Structure 1
Amino acid sequence: MFSTPAVVASCVGFVLIGVLQALYGPAIPAFRDEFGLSPSAAGLGLSAHFVGGVGGVLLFDRLYGRMGNRRILGTSYLLMALGAAGFALAPNWPTGLAAALLAGLGFGGIDYGLNQLFAVGFGHRSAAMLNVLNAHFGIGAILGPALIAAVGAEYYPAVFLAFAAANLPLLLCLRGVRDRVPQPAPGATGTTGTTDPSGTTDPSGTTGAEAGGSALGRSLASVLAVFVTLYVLHVGIEAGVGGWEPTHLETVGYGAGAAATATSVYWLMMTVGRFLIAPIALRHSAQTIIVVCCAGMTVCLLLAAVPWLAPYAYAGVGLFIAPLFPTGLPWLHAAAPRARRAGALVIAASMVGGVAAGPALGKAIEWSGVRAVPLLLCAASALCLLATLWLIRATRPHSPSP
């Protein structure tokens, strides 16, 4: 699917979408000063970005297979560049929101397009390559706030313009992307395992053909629904920790600086975790990795309720949650090979999870207090573990009858 320069360019593309998503928050003080906005109105910039992202995933999913992959990715890069430039030069806030929505459309197209192509384009290495790809998103998410801090929030238009320009050279690397997706070969599911001529695998892996017919009587709709639930919950946990960890740590006695540093470590551990899991994904199935990570995440969130352990436990959450998003996609393609839009559904659901996490967790905190944050997130993580165990059972291949 990809030449070596195209793989490198794709990783750079994920750095850029990480930068874009992370630029809005640090620039909020400058938005408010420039346009006279309330905090909630300024926060609409990121909301418009996510709404555009969901729209971009669903729009480009409809075009997937009808347009060539190069055209889809090229259009996405151009939309991101135009949206970012429009946001930088917007004369008023409604125009800025429209530009953020446009940039979000391109963001969604890149997020969906590259995840989809990496999930089917590297055979048994797909899970490893998806983790490497998504790790670069984390690098961008760390770089974005650093850029704003370096130049000052009041110069955010220059940063957005530089971001827009950085998208354009990637268009030259698209010729290294195969324009049409080949039919998945046996074993190309992102899990390990040897395939014999009958199409079965050993216990460590699952082929797409088997998984498609091995739902143990469960309907495809049920399997997809549980995958969507898993993605909504785990992205909600990811956003919930990132958003509420500083508040929780300050509530239990840490200083503002220490709380902010611990939150940065959480995001750093997410990036490190995706690089670390790449070689592991070559030797172990996606199912095994995800169930271990869900269990580890649940334990770490439980430990985060102990004040002196909390910063270290949150770092552990970052490490364990890191592989879930990229590692789950090859498993999804194996479990539902005939559901062409399954990938778009869960990627869009993950964005919805990120948007919904803030108000949902905020309402729960109003009832239970800030000290309950890790326990609330632990409950959601336990549901992720249950969903994973259900999916392992539901997608396990049948043993052939004698």
Structure 2
Amino acid sequence: MTDPIAGVRVPARPDTALFTRTAVAASCAGFVLIGALQSLFGPALPALREEFGLSPSAAGLGLSAHFAGGVTGVLAFNRVHGRVGNRVLLGSSYALMALGSIAFALAPVWPAALAAALVAGLGFGGLDYGLNQLFATGFGRRSTAMLNVLNAHFGIGAVAGPALIGLLGPGRYPVAFLACGVLAAALVPFVKGVRDRDPAAPAGGAAGPPGAPPGTGRTLLLLGAFVLLYVVHVGVEAGVGGWEPTHLETVGYGAATAASATSVYWLMLTAGRFLVVPLAVRMPEPVIVAVSCTGMLLCTGAAAVPGLAPYAYAGVGLFIAPVFPTGLPWLHRTVPTARRAAAYVIAASMVGGVAAGPALGRAIELAGVRAVPVVLCAMTAVCLLATAWLARATRHRPARPCE
């Protein structure tokens, strides 16, 4: 059977397939939804400040509450996943997003809006964890390709959310959140197309391959390296998105050019995940991640040259795109008890996204805005070092998961 979105063949036998074709398409729609939901808070800030009489920092708590709910949702759903099954996990995540999004749109006071953002974040975290986990193990050798397809749809949503606010106007942000809530509710019935319990894990599957490194210390080292890779690379991703416009304006570009270049960065990140799909079924994950980190390093360094900066940031988007979805199957093959490990890594990546703004802001206060590419380059060097260590530490393992 072929995935109707990516053209990647997926398991066809009903007794072993984790997703039906319809469920694959619905899952991709779910990732468009969470990408849009996360991206709506920023464009809605001016209207939120005016409606509720908020300071900039108070208005920013909406996104903070959403991320706090996301981290909590990842860890909480990880705890109960084995007991409740895949359908309850995904269905309750969609329901929480629907409830939170609709409540945020209709909230009469700011504390109620914050509570609603937290609830929507819980569903966001559950869906982010659940679908990444299931796609990482549900398609055999093609799991890496399918994860890139799935996460590319997150990027589509992240681009579409602000575009919708721009079309409606910031003052009509409740309509956008209501639309997200309705879409989330509409996706609940499609969880019937997901196998409720994972098939028995094959050799090299989620439970860890035969010959997994013995001893808690070895496992913690591997997990720690993956956490470091994910925290820092998501920090780079968020850092470019947040600071690229400021840096470009500082080195002489106009505000419109800087904003357009930032949009191109996000579009390149989305395109990169689709472009890597044919490579992901032929190349081992460590090679893809290593090439990606090397490209990020070169591009962040090139961004220090004013004439190259807009193009270099677009290159960062292209190279950073495969790291998150490609690293998860690699994690599953190399870390015992990989389901719990994946939850920690996904939660840590969310923390990295939240922490990137203040951390980069402090570095820029000390070194100046022109140092943005230098700081980002140093962060990508950390990603490359973590990748190199992981590749060496796991070199004895099979290059790809078994069917």
TM-score category, normalised to shorter length: over 0.9
Look up the match of 1:262.
Answer: 261
Greater alpha carbon shift after TM alignment, 333-342 vs 348-357: 333-342
Q: Using the alignment, how far apart are the partners of 1:236 and 1:129 within structure 2?
A: 24
TM-score normalised per structure 1: 0.92
Measure how far apart 1:53 and its partner are.
0.2
2:168 aligned with 1:151:
yes
Deviations 1:250-297 (A, max 9, x none): 000000000000000000000000000011000000000000000000
Q: Is the 8 A contact 1:50 1:351 kept in 2?
A: yes
Q: Is the 8 A contact 1:123 1:187 kept in 2?
A: no
What is the aligned-residue identity percentage? 67
Measure how far apart 1:214 and its partner are.
8.1
The aligned runs of 1:148-297 (5 Å cut-off) are: 148-188=165-205, 208-210=208-210, 212-213=212-213, 219-297=218-296
Q: Using the alignment, how far apart are the partners of 1:398 and 1:331 within structure 2?
A: 10
2:121 aligned with 1:104:
yes
Matched AA of 1:213: P
Look up the match of 1:317.
Answer: 316
Look up the match of 1:50.
Answer: 67
Q: Using the alignment, how far apart are the partners of 2:294 and 2:219 within structure 1?
A: 25
Measure how far apart 1:213 and its partner are.
3.1
Measure how far apart 1:169 and its partner are.
1.8
Q: Is the 8 A contact 1:218 1:394 kept in 2?
A: no
CA gap of 1:99–1:335, structure 2 versus 1, over 3 A, is: same
Measure how far apart 1:211 and its partner are.
6.3
Look up the match of 2:8.
Answer: none
Look up the match of 2:33.
Answer: 16
Q: Is the 8 A contact 1:214 1:394 kept in 2?
A: no
Look up the match of 1:93.
Answer: 110
Measure how far apart 1:183 and its partner are.
2.5
Look up the match of 1:125.
Answer: 142
Look up the match of 2:401.
Answer: none
Matched AA of 1:66: R
Look up the match of 1:302.
Answer: 301
Look up the match of 2:392.
Answer: 393
CA gap of 1:339–1:7, structure 2 versus 1, over 3 A, is: closer
Look up the match of 1:197.
Answer: none
Matched AA of 1:76: S
Give the secondary structure class of the aligned counterpart of 1:308: coil
Deviations 1:167-207 (A, max 9, x none): 12211211110000122223558xxxxxxxxxxxxxxxxx9
Give the secondary structure class of the aligned counterpart of 1:230: helix
Q: Is the 8 A contact 2:133 2:339 kept in 1?
A: no
Deviations 1:82-123 (A, max 9, x none): 000110011110110000000000000000000000001000
TM-score normalised per structure 2: 0.92
Q: Using the alignment, how far apart are the partners of 2:299 and 2:125 within structure 1?
A: 31
Look up the match of 2:334.
Answer: 335
Measured on the aligned residues, the alpha-carbon RMSD in Å equals 1.6
Q: Using the alignment, how far apart are the partners of 2:121 and 2:64 within structure 1?
A: 10
Look up the match of 2:364.
Answer: 365
Look up the match of 1:192.
Answer: none
Measure how far apart 1:208 and its partner are.
4.5
Q: Using the alignment, how far apart are the partners of 2:250 and 2:211 within structure 1?
A: 47
Q: Is the 8 A contact 1:28 1:43 kept in 2?
A: yes
Structure 2: gaps spanning 5 or more residues = 1-17, 399-403
The alignment of Structure 1 onto Structure 2 pairs a total of residues equal to 381
Look up the match of 1:5.
Answer: 22
Measure how far apart 1:339 and its partner are.
3.9
Greater alpha carbon shift after TM alignment, 329-338 vs 12-21: 329-338
Measure how far apart 1:239 and its partner are.
0.3
Give the secondary structure class of the aligned counterpart of 1:21: helix
Q: Is the 8 A contact 1:86 1:96 kept in 2?
A: yes
Q: Is the 8 A contact 1:122 1:188 kept in 2?
A: no
Look up the match of 1:30.
Answer: 47
Q: Is the 8 A contact 1:236 1:356 kept in 2?
A: yes
Look up the match of 1:355.
Answer: 354
2:63 aligned with 1:81:
no
Deviation >2 Å, runs of 4+: 186-189, 337-340
Q: Is the 8 A contact 1:44 1:97 kept in 2?
A: yes
Matched AA of 2:26: A
Measure how far apart 1:153 and its partner are.
0.7
